[in-house]
Amino acid sequence: MSDNSIALLFIKAPIKGKVKSRLAATVGEEAALELYKRFVLDTIETVEKSGHALRICYHPPDSGKIVSDWLGQKNYAMPQEGDDLGARMENAFSRVFSEGFPGAVLIGSDIPDLPSAVFQEAFESLARSNAVIGQAADGGYYLIGFNRGSFFPRVFHGIAWSTNTVFRETMAILKGALLRVHIAPERRDVDTLDDLRDLFERNRGTAFDKSRTMAYLIRHRERLFP
């Protein structure tokens, strides 16, 4: 896949009480917000190191100033547009393909330790596959990508979003369309305190140990993990 392919990073505006609600129920809204900011920044760093173009897709669509005040202007940003998550993802792919990008991989911001190797593998797989998808441990997916010529918008239609059947339903559509699909390694989203603890434990002594996320967890370990 050409180096001219693009990464689509889906984020929410950093507004207290509006991000990581399940995590906030246990660690508090302020800590959830601070962690979310670090998740996003660590993910951006991973994408930037890959050398691919980056498009930050933010939600809600009227939060552009909040996002630009936070991240600055170096990363081109655009609002997520659509009535549900599926429509917003479909529209994001359609937009970058209409701009001429030959391939695109969309990721979320719930796996801040996503290895650069997994991300790069997703792009490279599009040279021999029509699509790529990465299953999340909770039954959803954390990554999805297409070539411009094999983009299949129907994959975003009729899905029961935020349920444990999202990956299964999506794969059924992809297989029904006879698309060649590369499946990336399964990863665990960080949505709950148990997920956060797992993130902390699995990254002790790794390269991610020096990340913004881990620095926060180490500093607040006693309060977060009593």
pLDDT in single tens digits along all 226 residues of the chain: 446 899 999 999 999 999 999 999 999 999 999 999 999 999 999 998 888 999 999 999 999 999 999 998 767 899 999 999 999 999 999 999 999 999 999 999 999 999 999 999 999 999 999 999 999 999 999 999 999 999 999 999 999 999 999 999 999 999 999 999 999 999 999 999 999 999 999 999 999 999 999 999 999 999 999 8
Q: Quick one: what percent of the chain has pLDDT higher than 70?
A: 98
Residue 103 pairs in a beta bridge with 147
Q: Which residues contact 67 (CB under 8 A, 6 or more apart)?
A: 11, 13, 14, 56, 58, 77
Taking the C-alpha atoms of residue 125 and residue 3, their distance in angstroms, rounded to an integer, is 13
Taking the C-alpha atoms of residue 96 and residue 83, their distance in angstroms, rounded to an integer, is 19
Contact 224, 27 (CB under 8 A): yes
User: Residue ranges of the domains in the chain?
Assistant: 6-127+143-148+189-220
Give pLDDT tens digits for 37-70. 999 999 999 998 888 999 999 999 999 999 999 9
Q: What are the angstrom distances between the C-alpha of 29 and each of 11, 64, 103?
A: 17, 22, 37
Which DSSP helix (H) or strand (E) runs through 215?
helix 212-219
Strands (E), 39-170: 53-59, 77-79, 103-107, 131-136, 141-147
Contact 59, 13 (CB under 8 A): yes
Give me the architecture of the 6-127+143-148+189-220 domain, per CATH.
Alpha-Beta Complex (3.90)
Tokens 């029904």: give the residue. 176
Please return the burial class of 7, using the count of CB atoms within 10 Å of its CB with bins 0-12, 13-18 and 19+.
Answer: buried
Entry pTM? 0.95
Residue 63 CB: number of other CB atoms within 10 A?
20
The region that residue 169 occupies, defined by phi over 0 for left and psi between -120 and 50 for alpha, beta otherwise, is alpha
Smallest Cα–Cα separation from 7: which of 102, 79, 105? 105
